[in-house]
């Protein structure tokens, strides 16, 4: 019998979660978190990787919460095996005790996980996780209002059928590139857009849930020694930013670092916003970090704040890119960039873990193109200047 709660969700039923952790107390706490919701339930538990693989196949959960360090088969091997046997959205809960552990946690993204979340280290952090974790689970399961996960969850195929492993685009898959409009052909041969007359110097990228792999796929598609600088605002839990920098540096042949106040990044540099600071570009092409301005719509750093600064100082030399993520951070900024003459692109629905931010921007006409991340990289490269970049 369908419960009233299930009926209110169109009969799709509650989101089933498999919890994998070698600590019985951690599993009990996570189980209690979800017992406080009416739309998420724990359908199974496992205390090591091999059991997690068996339960993933047997129970067909909508989402898996995965620990990494476990006896026997660890979480890394379990993620890879689950993605081979029954692809499922996987969220990693990882300690951030030191930088090496955080960097290693991002290896889970290469194996197929969607997101790395911090395992709480004190009571306050556990209370915060109790509030935020259900929303993240809903987002990757495609159950947030107006959000689809993996380009199809909740539309008949189910999360397992819809989910694509992170990094699949790098492995060679090719998805259709969909132009935002279909009335013109520009000088690159792309249908559906007016020729862009700017001179690209900056790529400004915003991303949230599922963003690390999307950012990596985009940057991996750029040519060696690109004549532009890349600025990235990635919503990520504090304490994981250096691990993300280390992971991207290992995956890419690019100069990837956290942004520093007063730095003028050279062409080829990739700079990520540090935690709790807005990242802005000033008129001289110098980076400014700001922790005095309050969070914008709940975010500091905010994608919108980065985009607004590019509108003011470098619109016709900027490509604004909005990747996978829930919410609307970056949408208003991308609208303003498009109006000011910037080159604007969003990630397509088929490859977005959460098609929230890109969907909202596309709905407001802010994107010239909707593309998978590797295609975004190649598309932007076609607009690189043929002469050395100027600041």
The reply to whether 329 belongs to the active site is: yes
- The span from the CA of 108 to the CA of 113, in Å, is 6
DSSP-H helix ranges across the chain: 4-8, 24-35, 49-59, 75-85, 99-105, 107-111, 123-141, 158-162, 211-220, 241-251, 303-314, 331-339, 357-363, 373-381
Residues in the chain: 391
Catalytic residue among 21, 190, 213, 235: 235
Q: Which residue has the tokens 């685009």?
A: 169
- The span from the CA of 380 to the CA of 378, in Å, is 5
Q: What angle do CA 279, 281, 282 make, to 5 degrees?
A: 130
Residues 6+ apart with CB under 8 A from 314: 201, 202, 281, 285
- The span from the CA of 68 to the CA of 131, in Å, is 22
The reply to whether 62 belongs to the active site is: no
CA distances from 156 to 11, 40, 64, 153, 170 (A): 12, 19, 20, 7, 27
DSSP-H helix ranges across 221-302: 241-251
**In this structure, are residues 238 and 286 in contact, taking their beta carbons and an 8 Å threshold?**
no
Say how far residue 148 (Cα) sits from the centre of its chain: 14
CA distances from 13 to 6, 7, 38 (A): 5, 8, 10
The reply to whether 261 belongs to the active site is: no
Q: 278-281 and 115-118: which strand pairing? A: unpaired
287 has which bridge partners?
A: 281
Task: Give the count of alpha carbons within 13 A of 24, CB side only.
Answer: 0
Catalytic residue among 302, 329, 348, 352: 329
Catalytically active residues are 208, 235, 329
């Amino acid at each position: 019998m369908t419960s009233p709660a299930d009926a209110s969700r169109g009969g799709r039923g509650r989101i089933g979660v498999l919890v994998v952790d070698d600590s019985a107390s951690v599993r009990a706490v996570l189980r209690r978190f979800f017992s406080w919701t009416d739309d998420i339930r724990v359908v199974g538990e496992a205390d090591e990787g091999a059991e997690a693989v068996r339960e993933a196949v047997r129970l067909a959960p909508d989402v898996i919460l995965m620990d990494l360090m476990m006896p026997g088969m660890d979480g890394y091997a379990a993620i890879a095996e689950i993605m081979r046997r029954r692809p499922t959205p996987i969220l990693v809960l990882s300690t951030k005790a030191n930088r090496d552990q955080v960097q290693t946690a991002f290896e889970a993204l290469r194996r197929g996980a969607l997101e790395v979340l911090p395992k709480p280290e004190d009571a306050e952090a556990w209370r915060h996780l109790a509030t935020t974790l259900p929303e993240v689970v809903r987002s990757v399961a495609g159950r947030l209002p107006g959000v689809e996960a993996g380009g199809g969850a909740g539309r008949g195929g189910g999360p397992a059928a819809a989910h694509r492993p992170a990094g699949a685009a790098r492995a060679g898959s090719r998805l259709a590139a969909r132009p935002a409009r279909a009335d013109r052909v520009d000088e690159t041969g792309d249908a559906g857009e007016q020729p862009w007359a700017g001179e690209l110097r900056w790529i400004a990228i915003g991303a949230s849930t599922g963003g690390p792999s999307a950012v990596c796929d985009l940057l991996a598609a750029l040519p060696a020694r690109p004549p532009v600088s890349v600025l990235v605002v990635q919503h990520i839990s504090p304490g994981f930013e250096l691990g993300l920098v280390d992971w991207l540096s290992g995956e890419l042949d690019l100069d990837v670092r956290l942004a520093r106040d007063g730095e003028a990044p050279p062409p080829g540099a990739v700079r990520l916003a540090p935690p709790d600071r807005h990242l802005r570009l000033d008129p001289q092409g110098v980076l400014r970090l700001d922790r005095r301005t309050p969070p914008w719509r709940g975010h500091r750093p905010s994608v919108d704040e980065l985009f607004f600064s590019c509108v003011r100082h470098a619109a016709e030399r900027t490509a604004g890119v909005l990747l996978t993520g829930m919410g609307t951070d970056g949408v208003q900024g991308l609208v303003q960039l498009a109006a000011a003459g910037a080159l604007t692109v969003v990630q397509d629905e088929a490859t977005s873990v959460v098609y929230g931010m890109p969907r909202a921007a596309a709905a407001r006409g802010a994107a010239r193109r909707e593309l998978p991340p590797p295609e975004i990289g190649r598309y932007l490269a076609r607009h690189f200047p043929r002469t050395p970049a100027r600041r």
